Every structure is written in structure tokens, then in C-alpha cells.
Amino acid sequence: MARAVVLTPLSVGVDGIPQPADLVAVGDIVVSIIVAISYLSVTLFVGAMLVSTAGERIQTVSDEVRQYPVRSVGFGLGAVIAGVGGYLLAGVMAAGLAERGAPPQVGILVLVPLVGGVIGLVVATALGQLLVGIVLLDRVSDDGRPNLWAALIVGTVVLGVAAIFPAGDLVGVGVTVVVIGGVTRRVWRTNSDRLPDLRDTLLE
């Protein structure tokens, strides 16, 4: 006895009715857009806090990056590698302590660096948006010191639009690495004179 086969509109692909694969693709796009807008909103908020509380330091980091772009990239890559290495080391230490019967609270060794890294990444992204805006507005600024609020908006829009394209994420990552390098190099230059004194203090 032949069995009846029920064909639904989705199974036969009726024109005008979206297929499951199409619905999944659209859902992925919508989720990606929501995530991107949420992240840009957070970095925009952080950038606004930076502008209102540390405007002069932002200009200093911007000058550092523009004067020494190659060195900023080197310091940025070094800082990222050191941060990832430190996090992995903390994870190995936490796992080793857990195997030896340490309390569950030892997991904080992994949680604290992770939270710190996420916060640092958000701040660096906000600084990157500011840097892009400063560089773009510098050409139309009379004194070479563009308005930081305008720079924040312009940088956020430019990086947000760039993220739509396939290579846009690489642009954002590159800008973030450069900013991390600029901050790291600035801190290094500011405190390098104190290193001999610190070394002598530790060796006493």
C-alpha cells in the first residue's frame, strides 16, 4: 500500500516563500548587526567618558601614534602577546592548583585577567575610534587640535561602516593594536627613568 507524502510549501520551494536556509542567513545578518551596534554603542559611551575626563591624555597618545606609527605597532603587538601569554600562564597555574586540591576560588586567577582584558579592549577600541576621528579631522582643523567630541563621532561612524565590509574587522583590529602600542610606549617612556631606581630597590 502506497504511503501518502505530505509536501509543505517550504519543502517544495514555492516561489515567494523563503526557504529555511534563507531564514537562517537573514537571522545571522540581523544578529551580527545587533551585536555590532551594541558594541559600538558601548565603545561610544566609553569614548565619551574618556573625552570628558582625559582629553589632554588622548591628544598625547594621538601625537605619539602619529609621530611613531611603526614603533607603536611594535609595542602594540608586544603588549597583546604579553597579555595573551599572561592569561594562558594564569590558566595553567589555576589548573595546576585545582589538581592539587585548591579551593574553587582559585578560578579567580583566570577570571580577573579575563575581565581586565575585556575592559582594556573596550577602552582601546574607544581610543582607536578617537584616533581615527582625530586623524581625519586634523586636515580641516586650524590649529591641528580637532574637537574630540566630533572626532569620536566621526571615528565611530567610519569604523562602524568599515566593519560592514569583509576586511573591515581587520582595520578595526589594526587600529586597536596601534592604540595599545601608543599607550604602552607612552607609559614606557614616562617611567623608563624610574626603572634603575626600582631595580636597585628590589635588589637591596
Q: Which domain holds residue 107?
A: 27-189
21 falls within a domain: no
Q: Are residues 61 and 130 in contact, defined by beta-carbon separation less than 8 angstroms?
A: no
Q: In the chain, how many domains are there?
A: 1
Q: What is the pTM of this model?
A: 0.73
List, for residues 5-57, the tens digit of each pLDDT value: 444 444 444 455 555 555 555 566 666 677 667 777 888 888 889 888 888 88
201 falls within a domain: no
CA distances from 33 to 22, 38, 183 (A): 17, 8, 30
**Residue among 88, 82, 57 nearest 179 (CA):** 57
197 falls within a domain: no
1 falls within a domain: no
121 falls within a domain: yes
CA distance 155 to 175: 11
List, for residues 152-167, the tens digit of each pLDDT value: 999 888 888 887 777 7
